[in-house]
Every structure is written in structure tokens, then in C-alpha cells.
Amino acid sequence: MRFLRYLLCVFTAVLVFLTSLIVTITILTKDTDTVRCPDTVGKDLQEARRIAEQHGLVLVVARYEKRKDIPFDEVMTQKPEASMSVPRGRAISVVVSEGPMPVSIPDLLNQPLERAQNMLQEKSIKLKNVVYVPSSKEGTVVGQSPRTGSQILDEEGMVLFVGQRNERYYMLSEILGVNYATLVEELDRRQVGYRLTFTQRLDLPSKVVLDSSVPPRTIFGSDQLIQITVNLGG
């Protein structure tokens, strides 16, 4: 009887020891195989992957969403949430922003305006404004902002500076009754276009200006063609 009691005590002690050992191993194993999920929200995708790997986890992109207010490739949401205990090796599922996307500015200098517009459209770059500046390269891009090689977000857009002939203006002097040779000499000197029409009035001196399409003392552009009527006389 005493021997049975002894065996029972030994068995109980062994059982308690084994139970404690199992509990201890379970706790140690649990602590070893679980980690706290890191916070990847607000990080770019490459950095988020690096952070996940440092914690023994795998980062998986669930989907991309087009967002104008969040930069391209930035993590917007994640599951599981940050600070949760998760098994080592588990995947973190994230939703990533698809835009706006950074794009490189092409070289548009010396391109005709229409060609430059097509190049921007091909790259999905917005053309914010076209500014015309005096230049001998009429209709051609002579400047751009931002400069070639810069990177911008696709919706920021850019400004093109396009050459335009420098418009000149003149005031026509009093020409009625003036010898037309004197007037022609002045117009040639100012590079103003004109066309002469001859008529015959016997009551007026010959070779004098009778009329013009631009009234005297009127301001006109250098690209305007002036019609001048000259009397041949008798």
C-alpha cells in the first residue's frame, strides 16, 4: 500500500513537471513565432516591403487605386493593422496609390507648337499655358518650364514659350497731295507693305497721292497692306 502511494506521488510529480514543461515550451514558441505588425501606411512601396521583411513578414499588394491627393506608389491602407500580433511569415495586404504619377519632362525646344502639344499628350502631361514672346522662330517653342529632364507629377502641367513675330506699329502721316515717290520711299524704309493703284485726274497734279486705305494720322500694324491711289495727271 505504501508502495502504491509512493508511485502515485512520483506519477503526480512527473505529470506536473511535464505539464509545466509543455506550457513553458508553448509560451516560448508562441513568443518566438509571432511579431508585431509594423506600420507601412504612408510609406512608398519599396520602403514598405523593406520594413515588412525586417519583421519577418511578406508584403503583398492587394490592389492599386487612382488617387490625386496621395503620391504614386504610397501605401494607403494595410491589413492586419499596425501593432497587431501576427505569426512570423504572414503576409501584410496593402492598397497602394496609383497617382498622380511622376513623369520626366521631354525636350520641346525648337519643336513646332503642334508637335510639342502632341508630345505632351503622348506622355499624359497637361499643358497649362502657352506664352507668346517676340522671336524670329515664329510658331516654334523657344522656352519651356519646367526644363528638360525635370520630373513633375502628371497633373501639374507645364508652360511653353512660343516665338511670335514682333509686331510693329506706325502712324501714317498726312499723305494726300504728297508726291507718291516720297511716300513709297518712307514705306520701304519702314518695311510696310503697300499696293499702288493709278488713276488719271486732269484737274490735279500728276504723281501725287489721291487716297489710301489707311486714313492719315491713323495707327496701323506693319503687317497691314496699304492701298494707295496715285494720280497720273494729264
pLDDT digits (tens, 9 = 90+) for 111-123: 999 999 999 988 8
Task: Delimit the domains of the chain by residue range.
Answer: 1-32, 37-99, 102-164, 169-231
What pLDDT does 100 receive?
75
Mean pLDDT value of segment 75-84:
92
Q: List, as one string, the DSSP characters of 141-154.
A: EEEEESPTT-EEET
- Whether pTM > 0.75 for this model: the answer is no
**Residue 72 pLDDT > 90, yes or no?**
no
What pLDDT does 11 receive?
53
Mean pLDDT value of segment 75-99:
91
**Residue 1 pLDDT > 70, yes or no?**
no
Burial 156-188 (b: 16+ CB within 10 A, else e): eebebbbbbeeeeebebeebeeeebeebeeebe
Mean pLDDT value of segment 9-25:
57
Mean pLDDT value of segment 126-139:
88
What are 134's three cell numbers? 517676340
Spelled out in words, what is the top-level CATH class assigned to the domain 37-99?
alpha beta
Architecture of domain 169-231: 2-Layer Sandwich (3.30)
Mean pLDDT value of segment 130-149:
89
Mean pLDDT value of segment 51-57:
93
Q: Which of 19-33, 80-94, 185-199, 214-228 has the lowest mean pLDDT?
A: 19-33
The label of the residue with cell 514659350 reads 161
* Dihedral sign for Cα atoms in the order 85, 91, 94, 96: positive
**Which run of H or E residues covers position 31?**
helix 2-33
**pLDDT band, residue 25 (cuts 50/70/90):** low
The two domains 37-99 and 102-164 share their CATH topology (first three levels equal)? yes
What pLDDT does 141 receive?
94
Architecture of domain 102-164: 2-Layer Sandwich (3.30)
The residue among 127, 97, 89, 87 whose CA lies nearest residue 111 is 127
Mean pLDDT value of segment 82-88:
91
Residues forming a β-bridge with 112: 140
